[in-house]
Amino acid sequence: MMGDAEELSLKQILAEVFELDPSTIDNTTSIENVELWDSLQHFSMIVSVEQEFGVRFSEDEMGELVSYERLRSALAAKLKPTNGSPAKPDGQRVS
């Protein structure tokens, strides 16, 4: 699950990688309208998110996470503990 703190951290990462004001980042923020979001910075952004949250995106996900909205929901799914069984070690954020 994504709490407010996680969401703020995610926005902060995008702000740092793409040189944005974090308060302007919302679901409409995407590769279409962010000047610095090119294929090179896309990798840096993905790796930064993985580094911050201790998660790993699959090869398929890599190419899809081209907007804040998609990134946020993919991350939320990884941070969500699986029902009834312990969360995967790489899927849970250590607080």
Decide: 92 and 79 in contact? Cβ < 8 Å.
yes
Decide: 68 and 27 in contact? Cβ < 8 Å.
yes
Window 21 to 50, contacts with other proteins (CB under 8 A) = 21-22, 24, 29, 33-36, 39-41, 43-45, 47-48
Q: Closer CB to other proteins, residue 4 or residue 59?
A: 59
Q: Closer CB to other proteins, residue 13 or residue 75?
A: 13
Q: Closer CB to other proteins, residue 4 or residue 21?
A: 21
Least Å from the CB of residue 33 to other proteins? 5
Decide: 24 and 89 in contact? Cβ < 8 Å.
no
Amino acid letter, residue 2 = M
